[in-house]
Amino acid sequence: MHTFFLCYLIGILILTMLMLYKLFRGPGIFDRFIGILVMATNVILILILIGFVDGRRDMYVDVAISYGILGFISSVIIAKFIGQKGGGRHGR
């Protein structure tokens, strides 16, 4: 089971590196925003997998939950900022 989690962790790390390319080379602001959201989700998954490989699941799950809450709040703030910037065209 340990090798399964380790292989899964390596696969997620490779996918995260590919997402970094999309994050920095995205054609528009919305593509980059989605890249940030996917990166936050991948980091949470990586933290939990490291906890399974390390054997200290409880500590890593607590950190992952905290990171998830922080990522959610920051994504709402960024989405609100992007919406206000583009919302002026459709409003008054």
Provide the token pair at 62: 């607590």
- Quick one: pLDDT at residue 92? 45
Mean pLDDT across 67-76: 91
Provide the token pair at 80: 């609100």
State the Cα–Cα distance between residues 88 and 86, nearest whole angstrom.
Answer: 6
- Quick one: pLDDT at residue 88? 45
Eight-class DSSP state of 91: -
Confidence category of residue 19, pLDDT binned at 50, 70, 90: confident
- Quick one: pLDDT at residue 86? 64
Res. 89: pLDDT tops 80:
no
Angle CA 26–89–77, to nearest 5? 55
